[in-house]
Structure 1
């Protein structure tokens, strides 16, 4: 099984040994595009005004451009520790025990705008680049460059895939038709109605991955995911559409917690 996560705009600084591009997962397939995107980003980041506009940086965030200028020497952290923000704060990988972190390394990948698909245990530097950024030095737009680079990815080799990426990042490496399960998050209000959840969407996803890691889950498809969710006291609705599922949280409950409503098929 493989869990796909989006990255985060915010990142921890620092790290241990220097970043080594050749150590990243899928290096043979993605190395060329990784090098091209990195070169284009470094070139852009030398011009503060141009970079701030292309990367969507406000005045207070312009200091983050320095990360893009020292990728080689700033130090690397495992991807699951590098990213911060709502989803990664809920995941809180740094507090997981050794077994759960090993599970993360084996079963979780992050869709980076700079590095493409990387494993949770891949060591990466801090950087600033998002899926919607514009890099003029690239031969093709960022999105198109990454789509081409991932086009021949052997997704089937990973077994069942649970896609938690946001739409922008999923578009960088689209899953083939019929591969994997796309998870949405919704909330059950006091009147029993289920509505799309926006504000706590990322929190719920981070909490879900933390639960999976701590349980050491080995799941081979949506039905197994449903049984696991039921045992965890989560409400998971497996949709009528192939490849879709919805995690339902209760109003007022911590994201990801439903009070034991259980897993069930969505009403037809």
Structure 2
């Protein structure tokens, strides 16, 4: 089983003295394109219109300034750097050693800067979305798509892929549709279902954490994934096609809140 996650928007800066070593990151064949993105991001972050180009507000000026010196910045394992709703709900820090080992192997984080990293990869905090277009590279999703396909298609062809990414990050790589399940989150109000971005990250993080903590073998098929999800959520499965992934739909009740969701586990 592979679990695909987006990076968090907010990131926790490392305090270690070690810096990132590109050749030590997972998928070292991506080292050269990572260097390209790092340099293009540095140049964009030095530009007088850097905040506008990167799609962020004045409150994030310090994070954009950090982009200009990422190779000198302190680095920490990705599970420490990526923070926020999804990663809090996943609960890596509270896992046992065996559960963390499973997470380190199963989770792939699709990133606008690194292409793809695992939880154990040491990276600095940075500010860059996959939706950004960088000078000389263009839109990052288009830049990474052929590179990620070459690096990961074969690896993903033999696994159930649980895709918990948001739309900006699904554009960067499409795993084999026949064994991929996209996770969608809806809220039901007065008999109508609506997309709930407010809760989607939290719920996807919860599902990922449950899959990584559960005992026994990981689900191998979309139907097996559905059975696991139905133990914790109101869940449905929409079968895919040769070109379209399966969809696991998690339906939240109208009165759901983060507090209620956390207490349920």
TM bin (shorter chain): 0.7 to 0.9
How many Å separate the matches in 2 of 1:254 and 1:98?
A: 30
Number of residues of Structure 1 aligned to a counterpart in Structure 2: 254
Instruction: Sort the Cα spacing of 1:156 and 1:185 in 2 relative to 1 into closer, same or farther, 3 A.
Output: farther
1:83 alignment partner in structure 2: 82
How many Å separate the matches in 2 of 1:196 and 1:246?
A: 11
1:54 alignment partner in structure 2: 53
Tell me, yes or no, if structure 1 residue 2 matches structure 2 residue 2: yes
Following superposition, the deviation at residue 229 of structure 1 comes to 2.1
Following superposition, the deviation at residue 250 of structure 1 comes to 2.0
RMSD of equivalent CA atoms: 2.3
1:22 alignment partner in structure 2: 23
Following superposition, the deviation at residue 183 of structure 1 comes to 1.1
Identify unmatched segments of 5+ residues in structure 1: 261-268
How many Å separate the matches in 2 of 1:154 and 1:41?
A: 24
Residues 187-242 of structure 1 show CA distances to partners (whole Å, capped at 9, x for unaligned) of 233x4544332221111111111222221551211111122223x33222011434
Following superposition, the deviation at residue 254 of structure 1 comes to 4.7
Following superposition, the deviation at residue 173 of structure 1 comes to 1.5
Instruction: Sort the Cα spacing of 1:64 and 1:221 in 2 relative to 1 into closer, same or farther, 3 A.
Output: same
How many Å separate the matches in 2 of 1:233 and 1:156?
A: 31
1:250 alignment partner in structure 2: 253
1:182 alignment partner in structure 2: 182
Identify unmatched segments of 5+ residues in structure 2: none
CA contact (8 A) 1:91 1:209 kept: yes
1:197 alignment partner in structure 2: 196
Following superposition, the deviation at residue 6 of structure 1 comes to 0.7
How many Å separate the matches in 2 of 1:209 and 1:154?
A: 20
2:113 alignment partner in structure 1: 114
How many Å separate the matches in 2 of 1:15 and 1:116?
A: 24
1:167 alignment partner in structure 2: 167
CA contact (8 A) 1:6 1:165 kept: yes
How many Å separate the matches in 1 of 2:211 and 2:177?
A: 25
CA contact (8 A) 1:81 1:93 kept: no
Give 3-state SS (helix, strand or coil) of 1:237's partner. Answer: strand
1:263 alignment partner in structure 2: none
How many Å separate the matches in 1 of 2:132 and 2:257?
A: 33
Q: Which has the higher helix share?
A: 2
1:142 alignment partner in structure 2: 140
Tell me, yes or no, if structure 1 residue 152 matches structure 2 residue 150: yes
How many Å separate the matches in 2 of 1:219 and 1:254?
A: 28
Residues 146-182 of structure 1 show CA distances to partners (whole Å, capped at 9, x for unaligned) of 1121232343424110111111111011224434111
Instruction: Sort the Cα spacing of 1:225 and 1:254 in 2 relative to 1 into closer, same or farther, 3 A.
Output: farther
2:64 alignment partner in structure 1: 65
1:266 alignment partner in structure 2: none
How many Å separate the matches in 2 of 1:132 and 1:229?
A: 30
How many Å separate the matches in 1 of 2:95 and 2:7?
A: 19
Instruction: Sort the Cα spacing of 1:37 and 1:120 in 2 relative to 1 into closer, same or farther, 3 A.
Output: same
Following superposition, the deviation at residue 95 of structure 1 comes to 2.9
CA contact (8 A) 1:104 1:121 kept: no
CA contact (8 A) 1:80 1:93 kept: yes
